[in-house]
Structures are given as C-alpha cells and as structure tokens.
Amino acid sequence: MGGVLQLPKPMPKPVTNVMDQTITSVSREHRIFRPSAEFQRQANLGSLSAYKKLYEESVNSPEKFWRREAESHLVWRKRFTDVLKWTPPHAKWFTGGRLNIAENCLDRHLGTARENKAAIIFEGEPGDVRTITYRQLLFHVSRLAHVFENLGLNAGDRVAIYLPMVPEAIVAMLACARIGAVHTVVFGGFSPEALKARINDCKARLVITADGGWRRGKIVELKANVDKALEGAPSVQTVLVLRRCRNEVSMRDGRDIWWHEAWEGGPNIHKAKAFDSEHPLFILYTSGSTGKPKGVLHTSAGFLLGAKMTAQHVFDLKENDRYFCSADIGWITGHSYVVYGLLSNGATVFIYEGAPNHPEPDRFWRMIDRHGLTILYTAPTAIRAFMRWGDNYVLRHRLDSLRLLGSVGEPINPEAWMWYHTMIGKKRCPIVDTWWQTETGAIMITPLPGATPLKPGSATLPFFGVVPKVVDSLGHEVPRGTGGKLVITRPWPSMLRTLWGEDDRYKRGYWGEFPGHEDYYFTGDGARQDKDGYFWIVGRIDDVLNISGHRLGTAEVESALVSHPAVAEAAAVGKPDDLKGQSLVVFVTLKAGIPPGDALKEELRAHVAGEIGAMARPDQIRFAAGLPKTRSGKIMRRILKEIATGGEVRGDTTTLEDFSVVASLQAEE
Ligand code: PRX
C-alpha cells in the first residue's frame, strides 16, 4: 500500500496561483492545489508527511493503532479486550467493551468548558432560530429517554424516526442510543408506502414524527403520511408526535401521543446503561440493485470511532467552529456528520430545516453570514444548482467566516469544484471531496485539509486504516491509470455489520464479487488510481443510480412502475444530467389494449413518486412496444442507456433477441 502515498516531488503552485484553463473532463484534470501555509499552521494535521506516517502505522500495525485511537476517543464504561475479531465477512470490533453512545456525545462534555457551548444552532425555514447548548441537549435527551422507558421500550427495540430537520430529530436519535433502542431514520421526503416498507421490515414499535415540516413555504404533512403508512404496519404500538407547524392532524386514541405532553413533568436525570461495543445502534435503509431497500446495520463503538475520528481530521475541527452540513438526518451523512461524529467531538452543529432556494436562492449564504458558519459540507448537485442560479446571489454576502468546504454524495466535476473554490471559498478554503457510503459508516477516501494537495474531481487518498484497491473482475489490482472496480481490502471499525434480517444478501452483495477474495468488500463503484495514487471515483457500476446525490435502485423504480395496473414491463436507466448528475429515464411497455398518452405518463410519474418519494419521480417516460432483451430474457440496460442518451446503439448486440425492438425504440420521440 505504500505506493498509494507516493506523490509528485516538485509540488505545484499554491492555491492563490491557479492556472486559468477550462476543464471539461476529469481525465484531463492536472491542476493541484496545495494547502496554504496559513491553513497548515493551524491544522490538526499539518503536513503530508504526518499523514503518511499515521497512515502507515494504521495499516502496518492496525491492532496498536486502533487500540490507541479507541481508548483515546471514546469514553468506556468497561475497557475492551480484543480490537478485532474477523471471520470474513463478519467483523466484531472492540469486543468485551461497554459504553453508551449518547453519553459519548453528551455527558462527556458536561463539567468541561463545553457545558454551555452551543451543540445545535437551528434555523427553521420560516427564519426561526434556536440555540441548544450541550447541557440543554442532555436535558432534552434525558427526558425523552424516560418517555421511551415509560412506553415500555427496551434495548434492541426498533424506533422509526420520520421528522423534519429540527433539533428534536437529533434528540430522538440520541434518546434511542441512550436506552439502547435501534433507530431507523426515514427521510421526510419518502412516501407513506416507503415508510411502511421500512417500518415493517424492522418491525418498529414506536414511530416518532411531527405534525409537519416546512419546505418551500408549504407544510409537508408528515403525520398524515404516518397515518397512511400505519394502515399496514401492525408492529407499531405508539406514535409520538412533535408539534412543529401547528397544522391540523388527527390523533388516534391509545396510539398517538403528543411529544410535549409525554415530556411534561418527567425527571431530567437519566442514568444511562452501558451497552456492548457491538450493540446495534441504527438501521438505515438504502437502495440496492434489487427492488427491496437494504437495511444497513451499524453498531456502537466502531461506528462512533469512525465518525468521530474522521470528523475531527477531515473537517479539521476546532473549538470555535460552527459547522454546517446540509444533509438531512435521513441519510447517512446526517447520521455521521450532523449527529454522532460532530457531537462526540463537542462541536457546534448548525442545522437548517428547509429548501436551499427559499425564499431566494441565497439562503445558504445568508445563513452562513448570519451565524458566522465556518465549515460547509454539501453535495455537488447543490453546488451545480447554486452555479446555475447565478453568482449575484453569492456576491451579496461576505462569506468571510468560512474556512473549509466539503463535498459528498457523487463525483464533483472540476467545473463545480472550481466554482465552489473561487466563488464560495474565495480561493482561501480547502475543499475536502469525501468518498464514502451508507455501508462504510464514515468517510473512507478523502483529503485531510492541512495535509493533502488537492486535485479537483479526486477524492484523493484513503483515511487511516482504509486499504482500497482498484481491481479487475477477478479481483486482481489493475495498473495505475486503468479503470476498474473499487474494493476495500481490510475491515474497518465503522463498516456495516450485516443487512437487517438478510445476512445472505449481505454476504453475496458485498463480499461475493471476487471468488477467492471473500474478504474484499465490493463498493459497487468504478474508479481509477492516477500515477500519484490518487483515487478518482467514476460512479456506480451496478444497477444503482445516483440522482442529485440520492441513491436509487433501478429495480426499485421498476417494481413501483409494474405495480401500476397499466404497466406490463418497465426498465429504468440513468441519463447523464448537468444538474442532477443523472436523470431518471424509464421505458415502459403497456398491457394489451391500454392506449399510451401524456396523461398516462403524468399518472405514472405521480405513481412512482407516491410509491417511493418525490426524488424518484421519473424525468422522462418512454412507451415502448417491447424492451431489448438477451436470449435468456434479461433486459439489456446498456442499450436502453444508449438510447436514453440519444446516442447510437453501439457495442455488442449479438445476444439481443430482436433488433427491431431497438429500431422502434430509437424511432420513438
Ligand atoms: O457512488 C458513490 C457516491 O455515492 C454512493 C454512496 O451513496 P450513499 O450510500 O447514499 O452515501 C452517500 C453519502 C456518503 C457511492 O457508492 N459517492 C459518495 N461520495 C462520493 C461519491 N462518488 C464520488 N465522489 C464522492 N465524494
């Protein structure tokens, strides 16, 4: 692995001296931006050699490295005995140890200078602001933990959280962690159907929701969605409802209770129990290549260690930082880099409830100035939207509090990187392009801002303890500069432990890709390494799409479509899109006698949004007499992709059953 760390000797120009050239493709991207001396001086890790030294230790003496890090970063009630028990593909980290995750995020800061420091600064979409200190956050979490216990909730019980991006969402997660209940946060943009499927899969006993949340000046009716979902979810005994928008909701006797009523009068002191290092912390559903979402299971100590260490190093956290991550807590980014990784470090986290362009497209910049935010972590799709909305919205604001920028969720194209760097970062702020996944729990490939020279479009080098490789279909490492499949060849503390109730799917889906290499974790991504060992992520190479930074399975969309009575068969593909990264194009064959038409297209779009959520609404629907298939009946997505992109159908079509299908598809529209 040492080779990954070889970097070009003469280090090119500093940040302020940018070559002015237009880059259209990452394969022609040669610019390098070194951290400025000023940033390096104040950084937690201020040189490439310091990174290399620690990295080498982490992969050459992992036992020693992880023991030390786990002992120093986490508050243990009982010390662990073994660092790792690894029987591929099952890992147990820090066995024998006991700890409480909420205590690691809250109680540890009390009695220190952080006690009255802001843990959360919240701005609602209407402009309401709340600041919650660490002491206050512990007070809220303790009381809610009592509410949970009074409801009879036990360690290991599942709790579904379906809330807007408000402080109570964080309180709810931490209160679960405090009593050892397993949370599954469902993004508020998911439909009742999607919510129901997730509740049923993990058999949640409690659902926590709100009357509504604000989005572009309108109320998203979360409680009404829960009511619909619960028509078919018998495991749920109680619904705890937060009052946020004061919209009217119906409360069912014996099942639904108001948060503020349940919360009244209880004790403020909650003695947290200690749980095993491997006690389940949360399940987070994500899209896979088959129709059913995967319940990624993360456990306690390893997850928290990964989230905490990466947050500290990647965001170069300082006591005075005010950190803003624009992800919703319904995604892994919210779990690791709004809640656990940041609060365990005692950081101040800024959260925002609503849309980035409400009431105007400068909302983020206004909030950065208003609150003096120092770090911004967002997605390339948002950056491209800001670019499109125009520089004038940015230039009205100072943005002088910012010192570091981050990117996550999809490859960032060099044009967006440069805009982010010059327009938002004023050429002063390093950009950390962080590659990771729901499954990895924490950032895996990333620059460390005081150490790593940046190349726009590259996630650069692995984090401590992470050993990625780019391999061919047999699992052999490919030469530098050659594309291949991205794998992680060693276990890491924040890795997923299994898929909830589907251990076989876990084994097959992540560890079965390369016969003879059953200890290689397959990421589903394509990548290449350049001559300096830098990783360039190409994107998904399985049947998973990345639309505006959201993962969506083609099979999920297809099964939503075929559940409509007019549809016989459907195939979903991604089409490159300047704004969203990929847009969603679906090919549909209708049942005999059903006439195609625009009204039906609209109906099908709404149907998919209703089955999954608005983020899955197809951008384009194309009716087809038939879909191209292999002789064995498999839909040839590659061909559909070429048709969707408007290109000629090239490549091998010899296995195609009936070429006339392709000809008629191309003739359409
Ligand atoms: O394809 C990669 C892309 O997002 C996928 C993971 O999606 P999800 O589990 O929803 O987690 C997103 C937030 C961590 C990956 O397989 N991806 C994520 N970050 C990057 C990325 N692609 C390129 N560059 C990144 N920085």
DSSP strand pairing (90-95 vs 82-87): antiparallel
* Per-residue model confidence (pLDDT) at position 26: 60
DSSP strand pairing (404-408 vs 375-378): parallel
Mutate which of 436, 485, 536, 580 for ligand 1 pocket (most atoms within 8 A of beta carbon)? 436
* Per-residue model confidence (pLDDT) at position 635: 85
Q: 81: which 2 tokens?
A: 């005995």
Q: Quick check: CB of 496 below 6 Å from ligand 1?
A: no
Residue for token pair 């998203």: 220
* Per-residue model confidence (pLDDT) at position 668: 62
CB distance 661 to 628 below 8 Å: yes
* Per-residue model confidence (pLDDT) at position 28: 65
Which residue CA neighbors atom 24 of ligand 1 most closely? Answer: 411
List the binding residues for CoA: 215-218, 333, 357, 548
Ligand 1 centroid, distance to 525 Cα (angstroms): 9
Ligand 1 centroid, distance to 657 Cα (angstroms): 35
Q: Which helix (H) or strand (E) holds 607?
A: helix 598-611
For 480-534, strand residue ranges (E) read 483-488, 498-499, 521-529
* Per-residue model confidence (pLDDT) at position 18: 30
* Per-residue model confidence (pLDDT) at position 190: 96
* Per-residue model confidence (pLDDT) at position 630: 84
Q: Quick check: CB of 539 below 6 Å from ligand 1?
A: yes
Q: Quick check: CB of 494 below 6 Å from ligand 1?
A: no
| Ranges in the chain, pLDDT < 70 | 1-28, 648-651, 654-655, 659, 668-669
What the chain holds in terms of domains, given with CATH numbers, is: 37-101+300-539 (3.40.50.12780), 118-284 (3.40.50.12780), 544-667 (3.30.300.30)
Q: Quick check: CB of 524 below 6 Å from ligand 1?
A: yes
pTM: 0.93
* Per-residue model confidence (pLDDT) at position 617: 97
Give 545-595 as a DSSP string: EEETTEEEEHHHHHHHHHTSTTEEEEEEEEEEETTTEEEEEEEEEEPTTPP
For 43-195, strand residue ranges (E) read 82-87, 90-95, 98-99, 118-123, 129-133, 158-162, 182-185
